[in-house]
Amino acid sequence: MNCLFCRIARGEIPAEIVWRTEGALAFLDHRPLFPGHVLLIPDTHVETLAGMPAENLGAFFTAVQRMEKAVVAAMEAEGSFVAMNNHVSQSVPHLHIHIVPRRKGDGLKGFFWPRHKYESDERMRETAERIRTAL
């Protein structure tokens, strides 16, 4: 497989690895938002959250939680930004979690996209119902 993150996990491409545990690998993002920006990936190829086997989710998100605590502590941050994309804006088609240390006034403005209100309360209720039906 020619996936960039799989190749990093196999040691074929250099990366600054910060942690490896069974099922997960964390390394510094080569284009960080701030120093300490870590990417945490499953160490086997999974493209999106929906593709992750349910039996692996608990251990994977435990790794995310542990890495978030470590990044905040190591960088003496006031908090963190933890995010993932699925397909859209996913620069590498391999599930990855961004863990970014944050400080008040650091210039990062919440989400990276504009927010839009629902055009009406009725539209909001219809949207909620569509999601409930999909569940």
Mean pLDDT of 49-55: 96
Mean pLDDT of 16-38: 93
pLDDT of residue 114: 63
Which CATH superfamily does the domain covering 4-134 fall into?
HIT-like (3.30.428.10)
Nearest to 66 by CA among 22, 11, 34, 31: 22
pLDDT tens digits, 99-127 = 999 999 998 876 666 667 889 999 888 98
pLDDT of residue 52: 96
pLDDT of residue 113: 60
Mean pLDDT of 37-60: 96
Mean pLDDT of 9-32: 94
pLDDT of residue 67: 94
Which helix (DSSP H) or strand (DSSP E) does residue 60 occupy? Answer: helix 54-74
pLDDT tens digits, 55-108 = 999 999 999 999 999 999 999 999 999 999 999 888 899 999 999 999 999 988
Instruction: Give residue 64's region: left, alpha or beta (phi > 0; psi -120 to 50).
Output: alpha
- For residue 56, which amino acid is it? N
Mean pLDDT of 14-40: 94
Where are the chain's structural domains? 4-134
